[in-house]
A and B are shown apart, each in its own frame.
Chain A
Amino acid sequence: MNKPNTWAQWPDEKGRFGEFGGRYVAETLMPLVLELEDEYRAAKKDPAFLSQIDDLWRNYVGRPSPLYHAERMSEHFGGPKIYFKRDELNHTGAHKINNCLGQVLLAMRMGKKRIIAETGAGQHGVATATVCARFGLKCVVFMGATDVERQKPNVFRMKMLGAEIVPVSSGTGTLKDAMNEALRDWVTNVHDTFYVIGTAAGPHPYPELVRDFQSVIGQEAKSQMMEREGRLPDAVMACIGGGSNAIGLFHPFIEDEGVRLIGVEASGHGIETGQHAAALNGGKPGILHGNKTYLLQTDDGQIIDAHSISAGLDYPGIGPEHAFLRDTGRAEYLTCTDKEALEGFQLCTRLEGIIPALEPAHAIARLGDVCETMDKDQILIMNLCGRGDKDIFSVAEHLGMEI
C-alpha cells in the first residue's frame, strides 16, 4: 500500500482508511448514519459543543489524567524510561467515558431521547449509563449473557445508574452478539434512538468520531511529555480490542514518524490454538458491523468467536484505522496471551501499587520485549486505560485464590 500524503488525512469522504472502513449497514440505518456525519461535522465547529465537552472532561471525568513516571517498572526492565498515561483514574475507571460524553452530547443535539450501547467488560456500559444518568436519558445496554455472568460488579453498577440491561444469549453471548442485538434494536427504534458505539469501529463516521473523542488521551500525553521532558516520546503503546484507547493515544502522534506506535492484541490461549482475539495477527480482511476490517473468520467467511481472558478485548474484529496502520506499517501490533496478561497484572500491582484492568495488563506484559528493542535514554508511554477493580474476581479464580 502506498504511503498517504499525511497520516492524519483519513478517513476520506467515503469513510475509508485506505481500503478499510466504509458504511456497511442495512438501508434502514443509512439515512441516520449520514445524518450523524453531518451533525458531527457541525458539532466539531461549534464552540459551545467543544466547550461543553471540555468542561465535562475536566470537572466530571477528572481530566487531564496524569502522566506518571513508572520508576520501578522502568528499573525492572532496565530499558527506556516508562511513563503511564493514567486513564484508569477517570471517573468510571477507564478511558471509555471520554467517548461516551462526546456521543451522548451529539445524541442530544440530534434530539434523540433513548440511548443504546453494547458492552463486553461492562466498562463502556457503565460509562454510557453514567452519562445517561447525568443527562436524564433512557439507557439500554446490550451485554452478552456470558459477560453478564463474568462481570457482575459492572452489571450491578449499570442497574444502580438506572440502565436497563438486556442479556444477549444468541451466538456465544459475548461482545459481538451484544453488538448484533444493539444493531437490531437500532434498526427497530431508529426514530428516537442513538447508538453509542464503544470502540473505534462500526460504520463511518463512528471510527472517526470515537477516535477524535479519545484523542484527548494522546493530546494530553503529548503536551505533558513536552512539559516534562521537552521532547516527544520514542514509542507509545496500548492494548487493542476494538482499539479505541490505542487510536486515541496514537493519533496525535501519527504524523510524528519518529514515534513508534505499538498495539498489543489479546492472543488468548495462543493464536495457534484458534482461541484468541487477535484480529490483525490471526485474521483476514472482511465485512462486519458496518465496516471493512480484519476479522477472525473461517474459510467460508463466517465469523469465529473470539476468546480472551479480558472481556473488553474479546471481539473478533478491530477498528478499521488499525487495519490501515498495520498494512501501511505505520504501527506495530504484538500479541499477548491470557497467561502473560495475568503476569503483567501482578507485576504492575506489586511494582507500582496500581491494580490495572486485564486489558492494559496485555500491554504491560509486552513491555519487557519492547524495552529490549529500546535504549536507556529513550522514552515510552503506555496507556493504562482501565483499573482492575472489576477484574479481581476473575483474576482470583484464575490464580486459584479465594476472596
Chain B
Amino acid sequence: MPTSRITARFDKVRAEGRAALVSYIMAGDPDLETSYKALCALRDNGADIIELGAPFTDPMADGPAIQRAGQRSLKAGTKLTDVLALAKRFREDDKDTPLILMGYANPVFHLGYGAFADAAADAGIDGTILVDLPPEEDHELREAYARHEISVIRLATPTTTDKRIAKVAEGASGFLYYVAVAGVTGSGSADPEDIREGVERARRVSGLPVCVGFGVRTGEQAAAMAAIADGVVVGSAFVDHVRTSLEAGTPDEIPSKIGALAAELSGALADTRRN
C-alpha cells in the first residue's frame, strides 16, 4: 500500500518534533457552505488532521455541545451523502490534509458498507471513526474498506484493559483515538499523568500514533496533553464557536472564529517541540 495521507501527516509532524492538532467540526452545522469555509479555515490555521462529524439523531456518546450541533445539521437537512460531498469539495484543492469521518454506525449501515466505502474513497476520506462499532462488530466494514485506502480508526479508553488493547489494535490503522475520560464528548478534562500509561500501552501494542481527545479545549490543555500524545483532538470547543456565533446573530464569523481557535491551538502545540 502506498503511504497514506494519515501516515504522511504523522511523519511530517514527527519531523517537526511536535504533536498533531486534530480538529473536529460537525458537517452541515449550521449549513454546508459554512462548513466548507470552516474546513478551509482549519487547514489554513494549522489543523493537521480534520475530523468531519456526520450527524445522527441519537448520538449516545456525545455531550450537549455536539448533540446540539448534530441537531442543527439535521435541521438543515444534512444527509450522509452531503457529508461525503463536502469532503470531496474540500479534497479538490487539498490533497494532503487527512479527513476522518466521525459518526455513528446506522447511517453508514443503512447506506450499505460497500456503497459507503466506495463513496468515501471517491470523496477522499482517509478514515472513519464510528463510535458504536467496536472491534467485535466492524468486520464487514473493514472488508469493504480493504479495497480502498480507508482506515478504521479505533477508540481506546481508560477502561480498556491490557488484554483488550490487543483486540482494539488488531485491524486498526491510521491512528488510535484515546478517549481521555470515561464520559461523553465535551465533559471534564483528564490529567495527562493519569493517562500516560494507558496512552503508552496503546502506542506500544498497536504500533500506531495515539491521539488523545475528550475535554481538551485550550492551547494550554493541548500543550500539556502533547507531552504524552502524538496528537491532540479538539472538538466541542470548535463546535461551541458555531453556537455562540449563531446566538450572537453573526453566523458569518463562524469560519474566522474557528480559524482563530485553530491558530491558538496549533501555536501552543508548535511550542512543544520535543527535539
**Residues of A in contact with B (beta carbons under 8 Å apart):** 14, 22-32, 170-171, 176, 180, 183-184, 187-191, 284, 286-290, 292, 295, 297, 299-303
Contacts and interface: CB of A to CB of B under 8 A. Distances in A.
A297 B134 contact: no
Given A180-B60, A184-B60, A190-B159, A24 B105 contact: yes
Interface range, B side: 35 or more
Given A176-B58, A286-B109, 4 more contacts: A171-B57, A191-B182, A295-B106, A300-B107
A4 B168 CA distance: 32
A292 B137 CA distance: 10
A23 B136 contact: yes
12 contacts: A22-B137, A23-B137, A25-B134, A28-B61, A184-B184, A187-B182, A187-B184, A188-B184, A300-B81, A300-B107, A300-B110, A302-B74
Given A31-B159, A303-B106, A26 B58 contact: no
Contacts of A299: 110
B24 interface: no
Interface in B18-77: 55-63, 67, 74
B157 interface: yes
Contact of B106 (A27, A32, A187, A288): A288
Contacts of B182: 28, 187-191
Given A188-B182, A300-B80, A28 B159 contact: yes
Nearest to A183: B60
B29 to A, nearest CB: 15
Nearest first, the 8 A-B pairs at minimum CB distance are A301-B110, A301-B107, A27-B155, A188-B183, A28-B157, A287-B105, A183-B60, A303-B57
A284 B57 CA distance: 16
Contacts of A286: 106, 109-110
Contact of B183 (A30, A31, A187): A187
Contacts of A187: 60-61, 182-184
B106 A287 contact: yes
A26 B161 contact: no
Contact of A288 (B58, B108, B136, B156): B58
Interface string B148-171: 000000111111110010001000
A287 B159 CA distance: 23
B132 A25 contact: yes
Binding site secondary structure of chain A: mixed
Contacts of B155: 26-28
Given A26-B134, A27-B155, A184 B107 contact: no
Nearest to B179: A28
A303 B105 CA distance: 12
Given A22-B137, A30-B164, A32-B159, A290 B132 contact: yes
B107 A26 contact: no
Interface string B190-225: 000000000000000000000000000000000000
A348 B267 CA distance: 72
Contact of A287 (B80, B132, B160): B132
Contacts of A14: 136
Given A176-B58, A303-B57, A24 B107 contact: no
Contacts of A190: 159, 182
Contacts of A287: 104-106, 109, 132-133
A26 B136 CA distance: 11
A123 B133 CA distance: 31
B153 to A, nearest CB: 11
A286 B187 CA distance: 28
B132 A26 contact: yes
Interface string B101-140: 0001111111100000000000000000001111011000
A189 B187 CA distance: 12
Contacts of B168: 27
B79 A300 contact: yes
B56 A27 contact: no
A301 B134 contact: no
Contacts of B109: 286-287, 292, 301
A123 B136 CA distance: 33
Nearest to B177: A27
